[in-house]
Chain A
Amino acid sequence: MSITVRYFANLREEMGRSVDRLDTTRSLSVAEVWAEATDQLPLPTNILCAVNMEYVNPAQLVKDGDEVAFFPPVTGG
């Protein structure tokens, strides 16, 4: 199963990258995708998560080909 992981804003800067490709054989939740992609960093408490550009809960399971995104609280407008 192949997952695209995107980071935005300060998370992107802290990671030093904007995208990861994650290949895994087991079923993962969004929170587990974060752990796998970041070498087990704790999930920040105020983080927002999206799967295929829709807001989701970190417990949501991902499927092959999904795009998972992590970002801080939004500050547009």
Chain B
Amino acid sequence: MKVEITHSAFDPWQALQQYQQDLDLQGKYGATASFVGTMRDLNEGDEVTAMTLEHYPGMTEQYIDKILNQANQEWNILDALVIHRTGSLLPNDPIVLVAVWSAHRADAFSACRFIMEELKSNAPFWKKEQLHEGSRWVKKNTPGG
């Protein structure tokens, strides 16, 4: 399982392909579930022109590791990958990739959702939006439903 916090832009599809290609599990997984979060240009009715993402180096990685361990205990998963951006982002930039491999789809789907929801609720990241007039810290995330 791998957690990566990256300050530079990344291509989630390429990262997913590369990670899966390097997995020592060929023939073992029947399901790959993935989630990609992308920056939007609109939030709470305001046009957002750019964003800065801050994290707590050390604690953020440690916390996501903990989430992956929890997922591994709860579901029958074979591997998981989380990549999260920090720094300066523009609309349409990928923010986060969560991918999970398992033998059957139920475990991959459930674990992928759990990891993403836990990350959004508890992993120490903070977004600051740049608007046409000034900037603001995002106060809370939208519910995952």
Contact = CB atoms under 8 A, between A and B. Distances in A.
Contacts of B37: 77
B122 interface: yes
Interface stretch (A21-29, A34-42, A57-65, A66-74): A66-74
Nearest to A55: B122
A73 B63 CA distance: 15
Contact of A76 (B58, B59, B119): B119
Given A9-B137, A10-B137, A74 B58 contact: no
Nearest to A12: B54
Given A69-B56, A69-B59, A76 B137 contact: no
Q: A interface, how many residues as a size bin?
A: 10 to 19
B127 A75 contact: yes
Contacts of A76: 53, 55, 60, 84, 95-96, 119-120, 123-127
A69 B63 CA distance: 14
B125 A77 contact: yes
B128 interface: yes
Contacts, number: 71
Interface string B32-73: 000001000000000000000111101110110000000000
A74 B122 contact: yes
Contact of B58 (A9, A10, A53, A71): A53
A50 B126 CA distance: 15
A58 B18 CA distance: 43
Nearest to B58: A53
B127 to A, nearest CB: 5
Contacts of A69: 56, 59
A50 B110 CA distance: 28
Interface of B: 37, 53-56, 58-60, 62-63, 84, 95-96, 116, 119-128, 137-141
Interface of A: 6, 8-10, 48, 50, 53-55, 69, 71-77
